[in-house]
Chains A and B, each alone.
Chain A
Amino acid sequence: MELLSISPPGWGANLLRGLAKSVQIAIGAFSLGIVIGISGAWGKLYGGPMVRDLLGLYTTIVRAVPELVLILLLYYAGTDLINRALGGLGYPPIDISGLVAGVVVLGVVQGAYATEVIRGAILSIPQGQIEAARAYGMAPGKLLRRITLPAMLPFAIPGLANLWLIATKDTALLAVVGFSELTQETRQAGAATKAYFTFFVAAGALYLLLTLFSNVIIGAVERRARRGLPPVVEAGR
């Protein structure tokens, strides 16, 4: 148990630092995913045939290929392409931080799922509301901000909440490319002390706490977003 204490002979501080990094990446990736998701859903619903096909290709490929492969592919290809572009423009190559790379890679993955979630949510808004806004002469940006986004939120929250939980857990995959988030820190602590079991159980408890804490917040947000709507009736009762 003293292995888990915060002060130096224990590894508690390392685990907490890893947890903080995991949460940072999860928040960054989730935000990027939502931005990609909103634009992707907009493009899929209102874009031209070319945009729609390309977005279809993006969501299909990202959702069919394992995250681990995408992380490796985007990680190597992304840093390589950026450095080549910089080299072509006459700049010295830069070292892309693991944090930024992790956020971008997981954000692209999250974006594909978020596109589908938000597209479904926009489709379940009563069509008359959007038509009414158009009839008032609202510009597309204003329509999105005032009508579509607030009205789709209650339909999107269950899916987006799921995506957030997936984002927190997918950060563990960055351990495979050597980024020192919670799982990687845990493994290092285990390797140094040979007490693998203790550390992995402790890290599991941290992830679980994060999930349970998120669930409480999500419940509050959902209640707020659904105010004024009829309560959800469970099917088949």
Chain B
Amino acid sequence: MTAAASAEARDAIRSEWLQPHRIVLMAIGAALVLCAIVFMRWDWLPNYYDLALLGIWRTIWILVVTCVLGFMLAVPLGLAQAAGPFWLAWPARAFCTVIRGTPLLLQLWLLYYGLGSLFPQFPWIRQSELWPILRQAWPYAVVALTLSYAAYEGEVMRGAFAGVPRGQLEAAHAFGMSPWKRFRRIWLPQAIHRALPTLAGETVLQLKATPLVATITVIDIYAVASRVRQDTFIVYEPLLLLALIYLIITGILVFGFRKLEAKIPARLG
């Protein structure tokens, strides 16, 4: 009975997917891909294979590091705005407004060119242990992307913290939980669950922001594609492949977040 029902459901899904016009569209798509493979130039690919892998790895590394750090910053930012006293809420709100009100590219260039040109004027910075790191580009990229993610996500977390029902927190209080335990066991998990769909969207936006780091000489996958363009004067092929790579990474992200959402029991009071 159940086997028959599941087979029926599978057939329904399959027939929904394989409508006649979809088959035509897929055929056209496949023909386009074939044309691209046959008529476009892909002979440069073997030469840049290793560099491209390194670029993909670096893009993903920047994405993961800035998202994790940014989220860790976003929780206190959201909490301060949702429940903090005014001397915490006000600076948090100002930070979110300023970061969200200016382009990320400008912030990145402000940090890299602006701070980067200020730092060498101070001898004690030049002599410090951190100087070899500060001379490279990636710390500026990580800081700029982290702050940006934190500001956008802080705004989301503010709404999520405010959206957790009062009764849940009062119940936790009535059980005699300490404030920290209340936060850790009740408030934070429910807020994260509420924010998860938006979190997925913000993470995709963060992925789309990573190619900006190429403008300050960090070699991510976008910079690799630019270099191919400059070296070989082939314009479209690297860009199309680049778009495909980003599509695949976005697909994996969306799929992963959907799995994560499905894992958490969805009953919210």
Decide whether A and B assemble into one complex.
Answer: yes
**Contact between chains at B243 and A53 (CB < 8 Å):** no
**Contact between chains at A207 and B106 (CB < 8 Å):** yes
Consensus secondary structure, chain B interface: helix
CB < 8 Å: which of B103, B105, B243 contacts A65? B243
Contact with A along B79-113 (1 / 0, CB 8 A): 00000000000000000011011111111011001
CB < 8 Å: which of A67, A70, A77, A208 contacts B98? A208
Contact with B along A165-181 (1 / 0, CB 8 A): 10001111101100000
Q: A200 an interface residue at 8 Å Cβ cutoff?
A: yes
Interface range for A:
35 or more
Q: B171 an interface residue at 8 Å Cβ cutoff?
A: no
Which residues 208-227 of B sit at the A interface, judged by CB distance below 8 A?
A: 208-212, 215, 222, 225
- Which residue on chain B has the smallest CB distance to residue A212? B101
**Contact between chains at A236 and B164 (CB < 8 Å):** yes
| Interface 9-mer from B19-27, B40-48, B130-138 | B19-27
Q: A69 an interface residue at 8 Å Cβ cutoff?
A: yes
* Complex Cα gap A155–B210 (Å): 31
* Complex Cα gap A194–B113 (Å): 9
**Contact between chains at A204 and B105 (CB < 8 Å):** no
**Contact between chains at A66 and B208 (CB < 8 Å):** yes
Q: A232 an interface residue at 8 Å Cβ cutoff?
A: no
Q: B242 an interface residue at 8 Å Cβ cutoff?
A: yes
Max count, chain A CB within 10 A of own CB: residue among B115, B204, B208, B222: B208
Q: B247 an interface residue at 8 Å Cβ cutoff?
A: yes
CB < 8 Å: which of B103, B118, B163 contacts A207? B103
B residues engaging A (CB < 8 A)?
A: 19, 21-22, 25, 97-98, 100-107, 109-110, 113-118, 162-166, 204, 207-212, 215, 222, 225, 235-236, 239-240, 242-243, 246-247, 250-251
Question: Apart from A169-B104, A190-B113, what 17 extra A-B contacts exist at CB < 8 Å?
Answer: A61-B243, A61-B247, A64-B204, A64-B246, A65-B246, A65-B247, A67-B208, A68-B212, A73-B239, A76-B236, A194-B117, A197-B118, A200-B106, A203-B106, A211-B101, A212-B101, A234-B162
A residues engaging B (CB < 8 A)?
A: 49-50, 53-54, 61, 63-70, 72-73, 76-77, 80, 165, 169-173, 175-176, 183, 186-187, 190, 194, 196-197, 200-201, 203-204, 207-208, 211-212, 234-237
